[in-house]
Amino acid sequence: MSWGRRLALVGGVAGAAVVALAGVVAGASGLVAALVGAVIAAAAQAAAVAVLRPGMTAGQGEFVRRWASGIAIRGGATLVMVVVVLAAKRALPGLWTALGFLVVLLTLLYTETRFLE
Protein backbone atom coordinates (compact mmCIF):
# COMPACT_ATOMS: atom_id res chain seq x y z
CA MET A 1 0.00 0.00 0.00
CA SER A 2 1.34 3.45 -0.89
CA TRP A 3 2.28 5.95 1.80
CA GLY A 4 -0.58 8.23 0.78
CA ARG A 5 -3.16 5.51 1.22
CA ARG A 6 -1.72 4.46 4.57
CA LEU A 7 -1.73 8.08 5.73
CA ALA A 8 -5.34 8.49 4.59
CA LEU A 9 -6.36 5.27 6.33
CA VAL A 10 -4.76 6.13 9.68
CA GLY A 11 -5.93 9.75 9.52
CA GLY A 12 -9.40 8.65 8.49
CA VAL A 13 -9.73 6.25 11.41
CA ALA A 14 -8.50 8.84 13.91
CA GLY A 15 -10.72 11.48 12.35
CA ALA A 16 -13.77 9.22 12.31
CA ALA A 17 -13.29 8.43 15.99
CA VAL A 18 -13.09 12.05 17.11
CA VAL A 19 -15.90 13.14 14.77
CA ALA A 20 -18.17 10.36 16.07
CA LEU A 21 -17.39 11.30 19.66
CA ALA A 22 -18.08 14.96 18.92
CA GLY A 23 -21.37 14.05 17.25
CA VAL A 24 -22.51 12.05 20.28
CA VAL A 25 -21.38 14.57 22.89
CA ALA A 26 -21.97 17.93 21.15
CA GLY A 27 -24.39 17.15 18.34
CA ALA A 28 -24.20 18.32 14.75
CA SER A 29 -22.20 21.47 15.43
CA GLY A 30 -19.55 19.51 17.32
CA LEU A 31 -19.43 16.90 14.55
CA VAL A 32 -18.86 19.53 11.86
CA ALA A 33 -16.30 21.36 14.01
CA ALA A 34 -14.29 18.18 14.65
CA LEU A 35 -14.46 17.33 10.95
CA VAL A 36 -13.09 20.76 9.99
CA GLY A 37 -10.18 20.39 12.41
CA ALA A 38 -9.47 16.83 11.27
CA VAL A 39 -9.39 17.81 7.59
CA ILE A 40 -7.00 20.70 8.23
CA ALA A 41 -4.68 18.40 10.19
CA ALA A 42 -4.77 15.62 7.59
CA ALA A 43 -4.01 18.05 4.78
CA ALA A 44 -1.11 19.59 6.70
CA GLN A 45 0.40 16.23 7.57
CA ALA A 46 0.01 14.91 4.01
CA ALA A 47 1.77 18.01 2.67
CA ALA A 48 4.55 17.75 5.25
CA VAL A 49 5.21 14.09 4.48
CA ALA A 50 5.11 14.76 0.73
CA VAL A 51 7.75 17.48 1.17
CA LEU A 52 9.97 15.33 3.39
CA ARG A 53 9.89 12.00 1.53
CA PRO A 54 12.18 12.98 -1.37
CA GLY A 55 14.74 14.22 1.13
CA MET A 56 15.00 10.92 2.97
CA THR A 57 17.78 9.71 0.67
CA ALA A 58 19.36 13.14 0.12
CA GLY A 59 22.26 14.64 2.00
CA GLN A 60 21.91 16.08 5.47
CA GLY A 61 21.46 19.67 4.29
CA GLU A 62 18.62 18.80 1.92
CA PHE A 63 16.99 16.57 4.55
CA VAL A 64 17.08 19.31 7.17
CA ARG A 65 15.60 21.85 4.74
CA ARG A 66 12.75 19.50 3.90
CA TRP A 67 12.20 18.57 7.55
CA ALA A 68 12.05 22.27 8.50
CA SER A 69 9.60 22.87 5.66
CA GLY A 70 7.36 20.16 7.09
CA ILE A 71 7.49 21.83 10.50
CA ALA A 72 6.60 25.16 8.86
CA ILE A 73 3.62 23.54 7.11
CA ARG A 74 2.34 22.19 10.43
CA GLY A 75 2.89 25.59 12.05
CA GLY A 76 0.95 27.23 9.23
CA ALA A 77 -1.88 24.76 9.76
CA THR A 78 -1.94 25.70 13.43
CA LEU A 79 -2.34 29.36 12.43
CA VAL A 80 -5.13 28.38 10.05
CA MET A 81 -6.82 26.62 12.97
CA VAL A 82 -6.60 29.76 15.09
CA VAL A 83 -8.16 31.81 12.30
CA VAL A 84 -10.95 29.24 11.76
CA VAL A 85 -11.74 29.03 15.48
CA LEU A 86 -11.86 32.82 15.84
CA ALA A 87 -13.76 33.45 12.60
CA ALA A 88 -16.38 30.77 13.18
CA LYS A 89 -16.70 30.91 16.95
CA ARG A 90 -20.46 31.30 16.77
CA ALA A 91 -20.97 28.43 14.33
CA LEU A 92 -18.27 25.93 15.33
CA PRO A 93 -17.40 24.99 18.91
CA GLY A 94 -13.70 25.81 19.26
CA LEU A 95 -13.03 22.90 21.59
CA TRP A 96 -14.20 20.32 19.06
CA THR A 97 -12.42 22.04 16.19
CA ALA A 98 -9.17 21.99 18.14
CA LEU A 99 -9.73 18.43 19.33
CA GLY A 100 -10.34 17.18 15.79
CA PHE A 101 -7.15 18.92 14.67
CA LEU A 102 -5.00 17.64 17.52
CA VAL A 103 -6.21 14.05 17.48
CA VAL A 104 -5.56 13.64 13.77
CA LEU A 105 -2.33 15.64 13.65
CA LEU A 106 -0.76 13.91 16.65
CA THR A 107 -1.86 10.45 15.50
CA LEU A 108 -0.33 11.03 12.07
CA LEU A 109 2.77 12.64 13.55
CA TYR A 110 3.44 9.65 15.79
CA THR A 111 2.94 7.22 12.92
CA GLU A 112 4.91 9.35 10.43
CA THR A 113 7.94 7.06 10.45
CA ARG A 114 5.80 4.34 8.89
CA PHE A 115 4.98 6.62 5.96
CA LEU A 116 8.61 7.51 5.40
CA GLU A 117 9.84 3.95 4.84
CB-count exposure of residue 37 (10 Å: 0-12, 13-18, 19+): buried
What's the pLDDT tens digit per position in 25-83?
999 999 999 999 999 999 999 999 999 988 888 889 999 999 999 999 999 999 999 99
pLDDT recorded at residue 116: 67
Separation between Cα atoms, residue 74 and residue 87, nearest integer Å: 20
13, pLDDT greater than 80:
yes
Mean pLDDT of all residues in 18-25: 97
Mean pLDDT of all residues in 103-111: 93
Instruction: Tell me the pLDDT band of 117, cut-offs 50, 70 and 90.
Output: low
Of the CA atoms within 13 Å of residue 53, those in its CB half-sphere come to 15
pLDDT recorded at residue 78: 96
